[in-house]
């Protein structure tokens, strides 16, 4: 991650289409926090979570809340992961 982003003192929300291992999101959170972001929230359409404790890995890196959509069944179970439910007739 490169470049300065004017987020000093701001709350930031990262929207991502897929989180697989969490590496890119963790690096993005670290970069935003180093640029002064106050709070970082992450939302992903597809929480693939290909590995052990991916949500925990993200949340342990200064992510305040993690939202995923139930398009893929997730085993993540923590009060800081909120699964947003899609209507069945979509």
1-39 pLDDT, tens digit per residue, is 566 779 999 999 999 999 999 999 999 999 999 999 999
Fold classification of 11-84 (topology level): Rossmann fold (3.40.50)
Output 79 or 30, whichever has higher pLDDT.
Answer: 30
Confidence bin at 70 (pLDDT 50/70/90)? confident
How crowded is the C-beta side of 89, counted as CA atoms within 13 Å? 0
Could you state, in order of their start, the residue ranges of all structural domains in the chain?
A: 11-84
Digit-coded pLDDT (tens) for 1-11: 566 779 999 99
Query: How much is the pTM?
Result: 0.80
Any idea of the CA torsion for 51, 56, 58, 61, to the nearest 10 degrees? -130
Query: How large is the greatest C-alpha to C-alpha distance in the chain, in angstroms?
Result: 43
How far apart CA 90 and CA 56 sit, in angstroms, is 30
């Amino acid at each position: 991650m490169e470049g300065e982003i004017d987020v000093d003192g701001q709350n930031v929300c990262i929207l991502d289409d897929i989180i697989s291992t969490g590496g890119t999101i963790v690096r993005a959170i670290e970069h935003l926090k180093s640029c002064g972001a106050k709070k970082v929230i992450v939302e992903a359409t597809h929480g693939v979570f290909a590995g052990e404790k991916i949500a925990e890995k993200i949340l342990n890196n200064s992510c305040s809340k993690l939202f995923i959509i139930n398009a893929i069944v997730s085993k993540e179970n923590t009060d800081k992961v909120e699964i947003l439910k899609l209507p069945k007739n979509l």
